[in-house]
C-alpha cells in the first residue's frame, strides 16, 4: 500500500470508531457495576500514560510536558475523560481551543487546573458513592489528594484495567493501521541495519532510520544501538541517554539494534535485529545469532487464537533450556519473551509469573516476541518481532530480514 507522506487532517480513525469504543467501555462499566468512571491520562510530552484518554478521544496536549505547578496552573499536562451511561464522554484538557474534527468527545472543558475542572463536573452531576478511577498509576498522589478533598462523599475505586481490557482486541481499522506501521518501521529498520552492516557511525545509522519514519508521517521514541564485545556491549544501548554513539562498529563486531515507540497514531511497535558488521560471522557468532533467534521464533511458532499463554511459555522455556548458557543483562532487566502491544506494552506479558491459567491469546490481539542472549567472548544478541494473532497462528508485521549473511 502507498503510505508515503500520508496526512490525516480530520483524524485517522472515523467517528464511528470512537463511538464503538465508547460502547465497549460503557459495557465494561456495566459489567463491573460502575455508574460513572473518570479516566486520567497524560499526553503532554508523554506517551506511556496517554493510552486510555487517547484511545477514547484522540486528544493530545500541545504542551511540552508536565510543567512545575505555578500560581496560574496546576497539574498541567494531565487530562481526564468522564464516562457515564447516556452521555457522550466529557473531556477535560489543557488545550484552550479544541480541534473538533480531530478529537472525539461530547463536552470539552479547557482548564489550567484539570483537577479542579473534573471536581466541578462531578459536583454538577451530584455524584456520590462509588466512582471508578482509571489512571491511579498515572496521576500523582498530590493531585489525587486534591481531587479527594474537593469531592467529599465520593468513594474512588481504582480500576486501571477497565479501559485496558477494552483495548486488548484491536478493531479492523486498528489492525490495518498496524499493517501500515509495519511497513513504515520495516523500511526504517532495513535502512538502520544496512547502515550498521556497512560500518556507519551509530548516530548516522539511527538518523537514516529516523528520516524514514518521520518522512512517512510517523515518529519514534528511541533507536538504541550497541555493538562489540567489551564490558559496555552487554547493555541495551551504547549511550543510555539517546541510545546512539558518535562512533562506528568495527568490521566483525556483533551489533544489536531496535526501533521503538508510538510510531503511528500513538500506537506502539518495537522490532529489533542483530547482525555482524560487514557480514561473514564466525562460527561462534552464527551460533549465537541463530540460537538467540530460536527463542523469539518459538514464541511465534506457538501463538494462535485460543492457546494458553502458559502453554506457549512452556514451549519457549524448552528452547531456552537448550540454548541459554550465560547471564544476559537485558534478559535480566526484561525477563519476558514478548508482550501484548497497543499504545504501549499490554497484557499478556509472556512470562510465567505475569499470567494465569486463564490467560489466552485471542484473534485480533497485537503482540511481540523477543529474546536476549550473551556469550562471553562472542557478544550480545537481541531480537523482537511484532505480529497480529490469528485463528491459525500469526500475521507477521515486521518483515525486515532477520539474518544479514
Q: Which domain holds residue 186?
A: 172-396
CATH number for position 311:
3.90.230.10
The tens-digit pLDDT sequence of the chain (405 residues) is 445 556 788 889 999 999 999 999 999 999 999 999 999 999 998 888 899 999 999 999 999 988 899 999 999 999 999 999 999 999 999 999 999 999 999 999 999 999 999 999 999 999 999 999 999 999 999 999 999 999 999 999 999 999 999 999 999 999 999 999 999 999 999 999 999 999 999 999 999 999 999 999 899 999 999 999 888 999 999 888 888 889 999 999 999 999 999 999 999 999 999 999 999 999 999 999 999 999 999 999 999 999 999 999 999 999 999 999 999 999 999 999 999 999 999 999 999 999 999 999 999 999 999 999 999 999 999 999 999 999 999 999 999 999 999
Domain annotation covers residue 4: no
Q: Grid coordinates representing 63?
A: 504542551
Q: Grid coordinates representing 350?
A: 509472556
Burial (Cβ within 10 Å: 0-12, 13-18, ≥19) of residue 67? middle
Residue where one domain finishes, among candidates 150, 167, 184: 167
Locate cell 489466552: which residue?
360
- One domain, residues 62 and 182: no
Domain annotation covers residue 6: no
- pLDDT of amino acid 244: 87
Which value, in Å, is the radius of gyration of the alpha carbons in the chain? 23
Residue whose C-alpha is closest to residue 166's, from 288, 20, 302 = 20
Domain annotation covers residue 256: yes
Distance CA 256, CA 282 (A): 16
Domain annotation covers residue 348: yes
Domain annotation covers residue 2: no
Q: Is residue 182 a contact partner of residue 399, using CB atoms and an 8 Å limit?
A: yes
Cis peptide bond prior to 110, omega within 30° of 0: no
**Using one digit for the tens of pLDDT, what is the confidence trace for 293-352?**
999 999 999 999 999 999 999 999 999 999 999 999 999 999 999 999 999 999 999 999
- One domain, residues 146 and 247: no
Report the Cα 151 to chain-centroid distance in Å: 33
- One domain, residues 158 and 196: no
Residue where one domain finishes, among candidates 167, 187, 202: 167
pTM for the whole thing? 0.95
Domain annotation covers residue 403: no
% of the chain at pLDDT higher than 90: 90
Domain annotation covers residue 289: yes
- One domain, residues 147 and 182: no
Residue where one domain finishes, among candidates 105, 137, 167: 167
Q: How many domains does the chain have?
A: 2
Residue 194, helix vs strand vs coil: helix
Amino acid at each position: 500500500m502507498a503510505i508515503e507522506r500520508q496526512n490525516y487532517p480530520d483524524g485517522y480513525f472515523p467517528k464511528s470508531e470512537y463511538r464503538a469504543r465508547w460502547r465497549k467501555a460503557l459495557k465494561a462499566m456495566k459489567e463491573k457495576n460502575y455508574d460513572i468512571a473518570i479516566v486520567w491520562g497524560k499526553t503532554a510530552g508523554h506517551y506511556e500514560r496517554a493510552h486510555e484518554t487517547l484511545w477514547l478521544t484522540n486528544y493530545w496536549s500541545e504542551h511540552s510536558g508536565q510543567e512545575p505547578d505555578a500560581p496560574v496552573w496546576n497539574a498541567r499536562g494531565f487530562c481526564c475523560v468522564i464516562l457515564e451511561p447516556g452521555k457522550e464522554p466529557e473531556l477535560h484538557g489543557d488545550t484552550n481551543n479544541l480541534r473538533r474534527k480531530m478529537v472525539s468527545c461530547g463536552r470539552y472543558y479547557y482548564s489550567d487546573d484539570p483537577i479542579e475542572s473534573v471536581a466541578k463536573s462531578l459536583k454538577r452531576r451530584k455524584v456520590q458513592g462509588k466512582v471508578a478511577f482509571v489512571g491511579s498509576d498515572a496521576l500523582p498522589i498530590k493531585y489525587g489528594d486534591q481531587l479527594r478533598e474537593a469531592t467529599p462523599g465520593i468513594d474512588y475505586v481504582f480500576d486501571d484495567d477497565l479501559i485496558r481490557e477494552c483495548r486488548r482486541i484491536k478493531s479492523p481499522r486498528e489492525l490495518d493501521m498496524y499493517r501500515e506501521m509495519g511497513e513504515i518501521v520495516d523500511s526504517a529498520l532495513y535502512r538502520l541495519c544496512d547502515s550498521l552492516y556497512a560500518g556507519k557511525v551509530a548516530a548516522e545509522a539511527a538518523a537514516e532510520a529516523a528520516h524514514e519514519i518521520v518522512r512517512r508521517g510517523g515518529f519514534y521514541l528511541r533507536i538504541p544501538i550497541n555493538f562489540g564485545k567489551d564490558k559496555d556491549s552487554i547493555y541495551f544501548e551504547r549511550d543510555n541517554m539517546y541510545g546512539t554513539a558518535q562512533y562506528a562498529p568495527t568490521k566483525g563486531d556483533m551489533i544489536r539494534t531496535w526501533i521503538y515507540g508510538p510510531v503511528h497514531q500513538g500506537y506502539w511497535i518495537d522490532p529489533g535485529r542483530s547482525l555482524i558488521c560487514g557480514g561473514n560471522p564466525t562460527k561462534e557468532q552464527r551460533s549465537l545469532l541463530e540460537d538467540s533467534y530460536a527463542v523469539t521464533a518459538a514464541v511465534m511458532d506457538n501463538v494462535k487464537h485460543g492457546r494458553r499463554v502458559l502453554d506457549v511459555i512452556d514451549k519457549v522455556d524448552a528452547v531456552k533450556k537448550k540454548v541459554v548458557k550465560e547471564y544476559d543483562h537485558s534478559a535480566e532487566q526484561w525477563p519476558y519473551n514478548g508482550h501484548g502491544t497497543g499504545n504501549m506494552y499490554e497484557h499478556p506479558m509472556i512470562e510465567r509469573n505475569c499470567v494465569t491459567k486463564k490467560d489466552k491469546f485471542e484473534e485480533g490481539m497485537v503482540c511481540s516476541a523477543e529474546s536476549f542472549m550473551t556469550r562471553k567472548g562472542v557478544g550480545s544478541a537481541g531480537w523482537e518481532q511484532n505480529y497480529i494473532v490469528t485463528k491459525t497462528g500469526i500475521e507477521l508485521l515486521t518483515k525486515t530480514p532477520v539474518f544479514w549473511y
